[in-house]
Amino acid sequence: MTHPLILAALAAPKTHRVLTTFADGSTRQFDTRSAASADNFAIGERRKVGRDLINRETGATVRVVSVSVSPIASGAA
């Protein structure tokens, strides 16, 4: 049985997105439940800017160009 606090945390909506852009034009996104957690994740991603990494899906070498944090539109207008 899962604890009620964990269930409540999992049910919370995702509010912010960290978008990592690569030199080949591809992107990777990570959605979070708060601005603070998005900023925390982005710190680690920003350390990779300018570095060549291996894409886990294709095995190709890719270079990280930029990292941005933005709010996710709620869809209710």
pTM here is 0.80
Of all helices (H) and strands (E), which one includes residue 45? Answer: helix 35-46
Give the pLDDT confidence of 34-65 residue by residue, as tens digits: 999 999 999 999 999 999 999 888 888 999 99
Per-residue pLDDT at 35: 93
Instruction: Provide the pLDDT for residue 77.
Output: 44
With a cut of 50, say whether residue 30 has pLDDT above it: yes
- Cα 14 to chain centroid, rounded: 11
pLDDT at 75: 54
For the segment 16-27, what is each residue's pLDDT rounded down to a tens digit?
999 999 999 999
Task: Compute how many other C-beta atoms are within 10 angstroms of the C-beta atom of residue 17.
Answer: 17
